[in-house]
Every structure is written in structure tokens, then in C-alpha cells.
């Protein structure tokens, strides 16, 4: 009599929040696939749905709760994980039918909850088949770029942030494990590595920058050593992959990675969360108030690597921020001439020390200041992009369009100054039909607006 092997259980995933949460989602799905699960692209086909939540701001919590509600309504069998998992009582009060709630990067607990909800065993015929060693990890990003998470948690106690409560103190990954993962990703088609953590500059502090053996020589668990080794990687085609550093606090040793950018080992790009410039506000935020020294260092970095792009984010309307403090920030931005800037209005976050500070800024003032900082940074960005017209830049292709009525094909890519999802794009006209995502091309810039470039392949 023939034996029928039933179909493997399917898992759906809704991933919210930052790239660090996306990496958590990838790891969970990779583990589940190794356990015999398949992935469902929609609610209806899933035996259980995972919702990876964000809990950093109240607005993010509301988005997470809405996603849980939608998953409950569409599927009914829902497991909640991620940063909002530490508010299990709130989630269960709103959605008593959720099957389980776990916290951020609690991979084992999530997998166990999925096993309980939709058991993986398919019987002796399947259970005896070993997992394929060559099976690639699950990726939720396009094939040509990948996030490389080097640590968890944070040792800072910024007044507006609850990340240490959500994700704990700094825990660095072994440097050889990080490099092994990076090597594997590049061999599998990754052309751009985006190094992420809560505090990339602090990598290795918790293990006193211990040394590990890699390729026959010792490598310290340190941002500079890691960056130098990542710069030695090559794609199967022999190209140097782009390596982009995110969430870099401007500690003194950050100066040491700038020469690596000038040498072409690192992408000339730094994502530094300055948050503000006024000494008074930085002090209230419990962040180092060294804005003058930062301006000197920016100048020095640009002398060493003229093409370096600096991205940052700023909070407006922090408790106690005066009009003078805000004007100080605008003047500082005029001097700093940052390439890419994001801003957001201060929101109280449950459990953050900033909630108890005096001098709450009215919402209408926050809104007005937000509009002013965006106007300022947009003007700076427009001028910097205008200056690139006529230059030839290296561009990585993200998407290739269909031919139009004349047979012309357009494409979208990014320069080294543009990280995916958060920065600008380079729009190309009249590209060859053979072009594909992940290709590196040289592009002559023909036009620009406030955020994006336009051009053609040389």
C-alpha cells in the first residue's frame, strides 16, 4: 500500500521595525526551514503566522498591534515576537487568542512556540532525511544586499531610548563567526553588506576586544579590524563588495576606518546617530556634548576621503529644547553639511527617562520645527547632489524596468552615498536588456533633484 506524506506545515511572517529586527526574522525562518517548515506568502496558506513587532515608539507599538489584529482576523493562529514581546500582558489583553508571546531575539522560544502550534514531524520517512548543509539561509532582502548583524543590545542609557530594556546590554558576536557569515553571503551573491547593531562602534567592548583566528592570523573583535577584514572579501566575479557601516557612534577610534574608505576597502559612508547638536539638549539626552569636536573631525574625514557620505538622524522637540537650542542645531547643520538626514518629532516612550523631564514642547512647535529642519536639510542635499552632475559614479542596480513603447529600458540603482530603503536613488535611462539587479555599473550623472540622481551608463 502506498504511503502518503502529508504536506509540510507552512509559516507566514510579518516583520516590522528596523533592519536588526529583519535579521531576527531571517534567523527564525532559517531555523524553521531547517526543521521542515515551508514559508507561506499569504495568511490563508499559513498554518501559523509570526508577527515580529517593534516597540521603540508609541506609534510603532500601534502599528505592531494593528498588524497582530490583522493577522488574528485573517488567520487566527498567531505568535508574537520581537521588541514589543516584553509587553505580553498588553498584547494578551488586546488579543487573548494569540498562541504565544516572546521577546526580541528569543529564537529558541519562538521556534518552540511554532512547534507547539504546528508540529513539524512528518513521520519517519521525512524525519530520517538530514537537513541539507548547502541550503542557503532565508533572506528577506533582495539577493544582492544583506544585513550583517554583529552584536545585540546597547550599554548606553540615553534618556529617550528603551533599547537596553528591550534588547539588553551589549553582546558582541564572535568576530570569526561574523566573518564566516559575511564570506558565505558574498559567495551566495551578496554584493553589498550592511553592517548593523545597536552600537557598531562598541563592537567587542564586552569581550575586551578578544582575538580570534581567521584565515591563519589573529583578528580582534573590534570595529576597525572587522572592517579591514570585510574589505578583503571578493565576489565570485572578483569584485570588492560594498561594505556599509550603520549605527556608528562617533568614538575616537572611528577615525581609523576613514583611511580604509580612502583605500577602497570600505564604502565611503557612515551612518552616525548624532540626535542633536545643542550642548544643552545633548546633556539632557545623556549623550556626549562634543558637537564642536565633531565638526573638526568631519572636516578631517573629508580631507582623507573626499567622497565620504555622512548620514544622521535628529530628534526635534525634546523636553526642554528652546528656540535657541533648535536654531543652534540648524546652524550646526549648515556647517556640518551632512549628505543624508532624517528627523523625527520626540515621542514619549513608556519606560524612558525623558518622560519625567520638565519643559515639554507643544506638538504644534514640534511640527513647525520638524518642517524647518527638513527644509534646511533638503536644501543642503539638493546643493550637494547638484554638484555631482557631470561626474561618473559607481552604482549598484536594484531594479530593471520593462521596455517602454520605444523599447527603452530604465533602471533604478544607488550610489555609494545611498543605503537601501533610507537614502536616495539613481535613476538610469536607456540601459541594456542584459542589465540585472546586483550589477555594478559606471554612471554619468546628468541631473539631480533634492534627493535623487539621474543619468546614463557610461
| Residue recorded with cell 545643542 | 278
Q: Is 63 helix (H, G, I), strand (E, B) or coil?
A: helix
As assigned by CATH, the class of the 145-386 domain is: alpha beta
- At residue 19, the pLDDT reads 80
Q: Which CATH architecture has domain 392-457?
A: Beta Barrel (2.40)
Rounded to whole angstroms, the Cα distance separating 302 from 281 reads 27
Lowest mean pLDDT among 110-124, 206-220, 254-268, 338-352: 110-124
Q: Please say if the pLDDT value at position 130 is more than 70.
A: no
pLDDT of 125: 46
- Per-residue pLDDT of 71-107, as tens digits, reads 999 998 999 998 888 788 889 999 999 999 988 767 7
Measure Cα distances from 422 to 19, 57, 243, 312 in Å: 11, 18, 16, 11
* Backbone phi and psi for residue 309, each to the nearest 5 degrees, phi listed first: -110, 130
CA angle 300, 305, 388 (to 5 degrees): 115
| Domain residue ranges in the chain | 10-127, 145-386, 392-457
DSSP state of 275: B
Query: Any idea which fold 10-127 has?
Result: Rossmann fold (3.40.50)
**What band does 340 get if pLDDT is binned at 50, 70 and 90?**
very high
Q: Which of 261, 274, 413 is nearest to 338 (CA)?
A: 274
Question: What does the pLDDT look like over 134-188, one tens digit per residue?
Answer: 445 666 778 899 999 999 888 766 666 666 666 678 899 999 999 999 999 999 8
pLDDT at site 127: 44
The predicted structure's pLDDT at residue 1: 47
Quick check: 192 and 242 in contact, CB under 8 A? Answer: yes
List all residues 6 or more positions away from 311 whose beta carbon is below 8 Å from its beta carbon. 269, 270, 271, 272, 338, 339, 340, 341, 342, 419, 422, 423
pLDDT tens column, 43-77: 988 999 999 988 777 778 889 999 999 999 999 89
Q: Is 275 left (phi over 0), alpha (psi -120 to 50) or beta?
A: left
What is the pLDDT averaged over residues 365-379? 96
Average pLDDT over every residue of 394-412: 92
For 418-431, give the DSSP string.
--TTTS--EEE-S-
- According to the model, what pLDDT value does residue 107 have? 75
Helical (H) or strand (E) element with 238:
none
Q: For residue 33, name the pLDDT band (cuts at 50, 70, 90).
A: confident
Amino acid at each position: 500500500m502506498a504511503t502518503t506524506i502529508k504536506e509540510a506545515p507552512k509559516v507566514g511572517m510579518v516583520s516590522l521595525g528596523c533592519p536588526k529586527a529583519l535579521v531576527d526574522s531571517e534567523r527564525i525562518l532559517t531555523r524553521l526551514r531547517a526543521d521542515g517548515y515551508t514559508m507561506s506568502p499569504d495568511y490563508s496558506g499559513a498554518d501559523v503566522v509570526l508577527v515580529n513587532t517593534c516597540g521603540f515608539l508609541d506609534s510603532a507599538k500601534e502599528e505592531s498591534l494593528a498588524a497582530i489584529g490583522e493577522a488574528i482576523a485573517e488567520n487566527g493562529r498567531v505568535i508574537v515576537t520581537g521588541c514589543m514581546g516584553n509587553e505580553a500582558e498588553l498584547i494578551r489583553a488586546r488579543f487573548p487568542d494569540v498562541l504565544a508571546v516572546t521577546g526580541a531575539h528569543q529564537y529558541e522560544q519562538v521556534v518552540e512556540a511554532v512547534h507547539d502550534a504546528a508540529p513539524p514531524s512528518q513521520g519517519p520517512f521525512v524525519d530520517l532525511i538530514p537537513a541539507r548543509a548547502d541550503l542557503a539561509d532565508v533572506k528577506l532582502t533582495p539577493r544582492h544586499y544583506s544585513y550583517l548583524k554583529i552584536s545585540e543590545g546597547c550599554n548606553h542609557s540615553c534618556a529617550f531610548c528603551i533599547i537596553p530594556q528591550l534588547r539588553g546590554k551589549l553582546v558582541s558576536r564572535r568576530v570569526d563567526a561574523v566573518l564566516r557569515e559575511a564570506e558565505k553571503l558574498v559567495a551566495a551573491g551578496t554584493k553589498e553588506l550592511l553592517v548593523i547593531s545597536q552600537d557598531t562602534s562598541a563592537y567587542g567592548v564586552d569581550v575586551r576586544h578578544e582575538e580570534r583566528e581567521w584565515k591563519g592570523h589573529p583578528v580582534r573583535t573590534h570595529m576597525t579590524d572587522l572592517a579591514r577584514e570585510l574589505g578583503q572579501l571578493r565576489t565570485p566575479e572578483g569584485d570588492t563588495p560594498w561594505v556599509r557601516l550603520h549605527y556608528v557612534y562617533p568614538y575616537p577610534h572611528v577615525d581609523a576606518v576613514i583611511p580604509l574608505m580612502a583605500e577602497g576597502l570600505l564604502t565611503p559612508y557612515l551612518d552616525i546617530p548624532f540626535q542633536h547638536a545643542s550642548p544643552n539638549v545633548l546633556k539632557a539626552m545623556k549623550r556626549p556634548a562634543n558637537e564642536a569636536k565633531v565638526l573638526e573631525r568631519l572636516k578631517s574625514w573629508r580631507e582623507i576621503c573626499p567622497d565620504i557620505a555622512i548620514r544622521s538622524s535628529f530628534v526635534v522637540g525634546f523636553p526642554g529644547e528652546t528656540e535657541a537650542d533648535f536654531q543652534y542645531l540648524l546652524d550646526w547643520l549648515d556647517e556640518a553639511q551632512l549628505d543624508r538626514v532624517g528627523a523625527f518629532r520626540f515621542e514619549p516612550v513608556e519606560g524612558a527617562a525623558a518622560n519625567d523631564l520638565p519643559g515639554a514642547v507643544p506638538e504644534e512647535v514640534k511640527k513647525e520645527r520638524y518642517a524647518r529642519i527638513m527644509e534646511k536639510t533638503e536644501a543642503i542635499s539638493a546643493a550637494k547632489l547638484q554638484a555631482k552632475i557631470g561626474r561618473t559614479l559607481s552604482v549598484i542596480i536594484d531594479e530593471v524596468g520593462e521596455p517602454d513603447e520605444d523599447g527603452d529600458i530604465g533602471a533604478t540603482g544607488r550610489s555609494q552615498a545611498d543605503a537601501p530603503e533610507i537614502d536616495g536613488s539613481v535613476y538610469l535611462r536607456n540601459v541594456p536588456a542584459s542589465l540585472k539587479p546586483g550589477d555594478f555599473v559606471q554612471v554619468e550623472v546628468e541631473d539631480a533633484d533634492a534627493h535623487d540622481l539621474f543619468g546614463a551608463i557610461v
